[in-house]
Structure 1
Amino acid sequence: MNDLIVKEQGHVGRITLNRPKALNALTHDMCKAIEKYLNLWLADEKIRVIVFDAVGGKAFCAGGDITEMYIRGKAGDLDYGHAFWRDEYRLNAKIFNYPKPIASFLNGFTMGGGVGIGCHGKYRIVGESSRIAMPECTIGLVPDVGGSYILANSSGHLGEFHGLTGTRMGPAEAILIGFADHFISEQHWEQIKDKLSSSGDIQVINNFITDPEPSTDLLDKKELIDQVFGQSTIGEIESALLALGTEWSKDVLKKIYRNSPLSLACALQLIKDQRHSRSIEEALDLEFRFTFRSARYSDFIEGIRAQVIDKDFKPEWKHSSLREVAGSEVEFMLGPLGNQSLKWKEVK
């Protein structure tokens, strides 16, 4: 398919995302094709390393292609979204558990669905242009594709901060929070891929690893972030930020207020719940509880309309304030799905 460039180069199985005009947004067919090749290469002894990269300098992958979900959802067809997420999450788990090393070269923006492809392998490489984010609350969703699992396992309450604000992480922040492993200057990336192809030895990357510019602003604010975002509810976080009354807290509130109140409340609880997840499968199952219900019961369709379709950036959320979201609504959106839960026999 034209949206992917797939090559076997020496000892490398290479998958290049090829939708640069769409910032390499991930489609359902791309998910299924990537899984097919991972299955194929698993049994191929010649292929020792998998490489994920992308065409174009702006983005590795800026998210899932949600336009089709909007069209289908508006027409009452919820099965399309359910099938997309089931296949995508199965792929996310497969990448997380894949026995051969996967090296992801995360140039430019990596967001949403891009995190599910690029941030679960064992060698997640960032460079000068890398910017990683989980901005799902802006479209009425929650951090998913295993992103909430990464957020939950970050230091202190940095996960809540990034999950609720969608703040972009530079290379140093991405490594600190757990979305990346190594900083390597992008001028060396093609040379590394060539060496991987000829040798099949993932350790060749060690010769190119350097330290990124430190994230002094995030480190300086960490104690404050932990204090504010360690609160139990989104309303308490709002109160803590309002009480501070600083330029920083006002900027954080501005980011929060642009998001769906229901998504924020659910994302906060989801990240807290993920600290008890024992596997990527458990984590994805928790996320699927929300996404399965999202088109019918959340702000997801309205969020896509405002941000992607009409681009008026004036969503009419179901709740006009953060404190309007009832605990029972969060419990419903994150409640067990029974026989609709994800099935994992496909990835074992």
Structure 2
Amino acid sequence: MSADIHIRKEGRAGRITLTRPKALNALSYDMATAIEAALDDWRDQDDVALILIDATGDKAFCAGGDIQQLYDTGRAGDYDFGRRFWADEYRLNAKIAHYPKPYVALMQGFVMGGGVGISCHGSHRVTCESTQIAMPECGIGLVPDVGGSLILARAPGRLGEYLGTTGSRMGPDDAIHAGFADTYVPELKWPTLTAALVETGDPAVIAVHAETPAPGALRALSPRIDRHFGGETLHDILNALRAEDCDFARDTLKLLSRNSPLSMACAIEMIHRLRGPAADITRALGLEYRFTYRAMEQGDFLEGIRAAIIDKDRKPNWKHGLDSLPGIAVAQMLQPLGKNALTLEETGT
């Protein structure tokens, strides 16, 4: 087993602990496959009543996927590794969403990108004082993925478009309001809660420890978000924000100006397509994969990683400007993949 993850059975629980706090518990390919293997093993074991996933360190549950290898292989012209990584990661996300046993996630600190994928599709999602959940992928030339697009589409009003394009962070109350979490339990209570979950195998003990978090910002901002993010396209949203001279509009425009226009426009389109009762995790992951499959070769992903992670100059040279993005570009990134479409079947590789 990887030194970056600790998988074991304790009492009535199958336990998964991410153990690379110096890397903010970034999810590697090996960690993802280890989690999936454990879930497969425990699915039919009667002595495992629930799954409990947590992480060591104070700063992060999981700040995202480990993208260094994705960048290195993509720069070398090898797009197949990234495509296989995303397909296998998405299969794990779907398994978590459909898992037949309670899946409890304790989410402290940063929970972003791939971290959302291994926690926020669980049946019981617990926050604490330090929780900061976000989908910041548009800042590196991706779109909200790992099934996050579905959670965004189900968020109240137009919060999904706002959170998906700006990458804004959610504290515990905001995360619960937006549908990324269920419960707030102060972190001092986590050892007692963990012991109770392990002993009983019953997620009902979470409610005994739950409290009401301090109010977040999103509930008060929602009317303004709904008014400005109600348009059909990124261009519509930009026009609405530019038409109002206020701090919210100025601050939001500043956030949007940093991110990939192609990614933001595709994120908006994806959220719109997934809004409604017919959408499910399988459809969301399939739509996300259309983008990520093309992200290195046709999108802004490699440039976004270069600017944010490699050179750290924070000056990405996006393929399109905010006001010069052709509508056809969105259609091209999200068109069906044909024989390369995501199947959520194990590849054996």
Match in the other structure for 1:129: 130
Structure 2 distance, partners of 1:39, 1:222, is 40
Match in the other structure for 2:330: 330
Letter in 2 for 1:15: I
Shifted more, 159-168 versus 272-281: the winner is: 272-281
Match in the other structure for 1:254: 254
Structure 1 distance, partners of 2:19, 2:132, is 19
Match in the other structure for 1:51: 52
Match in the other structure for 2:282: 281
SS of 1:244's partner is coil
Match in the other structure for 1:229: 229
Match in the other structure for 1:162: 163
Match in the other structure for 1:68: 69
Q: Any gaps of 5 or more consecutive residues in structure 2? A: none
Structure 1 distance, partners of 2:343, 2:266, is 23
SS of 1:53's partner is strand
Name the one with the larger helix percent.
Answer: 1
Which residues in structure 2 correspond to 1:201-240 (within 5 Å)? 201-215=202-216, 217-240=217-240
Structure 1 distance, partners of 2:218, 2:89, is 31
Match in the other structure for 1:2: 3
Map Cα deviations across residues 28-69 of structure 1 (whole Å, 9 max, x no partner).
111111000000011210010100100100000000011111
SS of 1:202's partner is coil
Structure 2 distance, partners of 1:56, 1:313, is 27
Which residues in structure 2 correspond to 1:1-348 (within 5 Å)? 1-215=2-216, 217-276=217-276, 277-319=278-320, 321-346=321-346
Letter in 2 for 1:258: R
SS of 2:296's partner is helix
Map Cα deviations across residues 219-244 of structure 1 (whole Å, 9 max, x no partner).
22211110110111111111111111
Structure 2 distance, partners of 1:209, 1:123, is 12
Letter in 1 for 2:240: A
Letter in 2 for 1:252: T
SS of 1:83's partner is helix
Structure 2 distance, partners of 1:344, 1:92, is 10
Answer whether contact 2:51 2:102 (CA < 8 A) is retained. Answer: yes
SS of 2:204's partner is helix
Structure 1 distance, partners of 2:280, 2:229, is 24
TM-score normalised by L of structure 2: 0.97
Map Cα deviations across residues 158-200 of structure 1 (whole Å, 9 max, x no partner).
0000001000001000000000001111111111111111111
| Aligned-pair CA distance for 1:214 | 1.5
SS of 1:43's partner is coil
Structure 2 distance, partners of 1:13, 1:3, is 17
| Aligned-pair CA distance for 1:245 | 1.4
Structure 1 distance, partners of 2:150, 2:123, is 15
Structure 2 distance, partners of 1:219, 1:171, is 12
| Aligned-pair CA distance for 1:278 | 2.7
Answer whether contact 2:60 2:109 (CA < 8 A) is retained. Answer: yes
| Aligned-pair CA distance for 1:344 | 3.2
Structure 2 distance, partners of 1:249, 1:39, is 47
Letter in 2 for 1:329: A
Structure 2 distance, partners of 1:197, 1:146, is 28
SS of 2:122's partner is coil
Letter in 2 for 1:115: V
Q: Any gaps of 5 or more consecutive residues in structure 1? A: none
Map Cα deviations across residues 13-32 of structure 1 (whole Å, 9 max, x no partner).
11001111110000111111
SS of 2:243's partner is helix
Structure 1 distance, partners of 2:342, 2:41, is 23
Letter in 2 for 1:74: R
Answer whether contact 2:12 2:201 (CA < 8 A) is retained. Answer: yes
TM-score normalised by L of structure 1: 0.97
| Aligned-pair CA distance for 1:218 | 2.0
Map Cα deviations across residues 284-305 of structure 1 (whole Å, 9 max, x no partner).
0000000000000000000000
Structure 1 distance, partners of 2:234, 2:331, is 14
